[in-house]
Chain A
Amino acid sequence: AQSVTQLDSQVPVFEEAPVELRCNYSSSVSVYLFWYVQYPNQGLQLLLKYLSGSTLVKGINGFEAEFNKSQTSFHLRKPSVHISDTAEYFCAVSRGTNAGKSTFGDGTTLTVKP
């Protein structure tokens, strides 16, 4: 079985500051890793994914994440956030045999303040 832990339930940050949202996972097999964003009253939208290859993954809206196999982490980063980045962020892991069957973390609420 696999599990995902998002270490911070809420992250407040000022506009234009850098941010890191932390995600750790556990799995006994190779995994795919994802970050999704959920804006109020909207569906989940994929930010970025790690399937294989380079451990530094770049996504939409200036976000990036780094896969660290030894630390079983997949932290999400952005060097300078905007008010519009305020949303709920979910880390997810799935096995290669069925990438759509994902285990999600409980989410991190990012609040960007002016």
Chain B
Amino acid sequence: GAGVSQTPSNKVTEKGKYVELRCDPISGHTALYWYRQSLGQGPEFLIYFQGTGAADDSGLPNDRFFAVRPEGSVSTLKIQRTERGDSAVYLCASSSSSGANVLTFGAGSRLTVL
């Protein structure tokens, strides 16, 4: 597509529930990144995919967070047993390589855990 698409744009859930957030990157972009932006802060790196594999997941806060990219295009960020502290905007970005090419960000998915 023309840009990075993220769905849903808004998600409200209850504490303890399971949530999936989807990212559809720019067609042909091999690198895909997930970031989390809490209120009043800058984005924080979560995980990076090169193709289908997670090349760097050092930013995932704990084992409740997991992400997949089975066919090297669309990615899903999965959060189990959500907690109120998970409330944030989850940003997805893609680029054409892991080198000096810059990121194109989606508009984000705002997650609110009640």
18 example contacts (A-B, Cβ-Cβ < 8 A) are as follows A4-B42, A36-B105, A41-B107, A43-B105, A43-B106, A44-B103, A46-B103, A49-B102, A51-B100, A90-B42, A98-B98, A99-B100, A99-B102, A100-B33, A101-B48, A102-B43, A107-B40, A107-B41
Consensus secondary structure, chain B interface: loop
Q: Within 8 Å CB of A43, what residues of B?
A: 4, 91, 105-108
A44 near B101 with CB under 8 A, answer no
Knowing A43-B107, A98-B56 are in contact, say whether A104-B100 is a contact too (CB < 8 A): no
- Further pairs besides A41-B107, A98-B56: 8, Cβ < 8 Å: A43-B108, A98-B48, A100-B31, A100-B95, A101-B45, A102-B103, A103-B45, A104-B44
- B85 at interface (Cβ–Cβ under 8 A)? no
Measured as residues with beta carbon below 8 angstroms from the partner, the interface class of chain A is: 20 to 34
Chain A residue with Cβ nearest B99? A99
Cα distance A90–B89 when bound, in Å?
15
A107 near B98 with CB under 8 A, answer no
Give A contacts to B, CB under 8 Å.
4, 32, 34, 36, 41-46, 49, 51, 90, 92, 96, 98-107
Q: Contact string, B25-67, partner A, CB cutoff 8 A, digits 1/0?
A: 0000001010000001111110010000000100000000000
Q: Within 8 Å CB of A34, what residues of B?
A: 102
Cα distance A78–B89 when bound, in Å?
29
Knowing A43-B4, A44-B91 are in contact, say whether A100-B103 is a contact too (CB < 8 A): yes
Residue from B45, B99, B101, B105 within 8 A of A45 (CB atoms): B105
Chain A residue with Cβ nearest B47? A101
Q: Within 8 Å CB of B103, what residues of A?
A: 44, 46, 100, 102
- B93 at interface (Cβ–Cβ under 8 A)? yes
B107 near A42 with CB under 8 A, answer yes
Chain B residue with Cβ nearest A45? B105
B99 near A104 with CB under 8 A, answer no
A99 near B40 with CB under 8 A, answer no
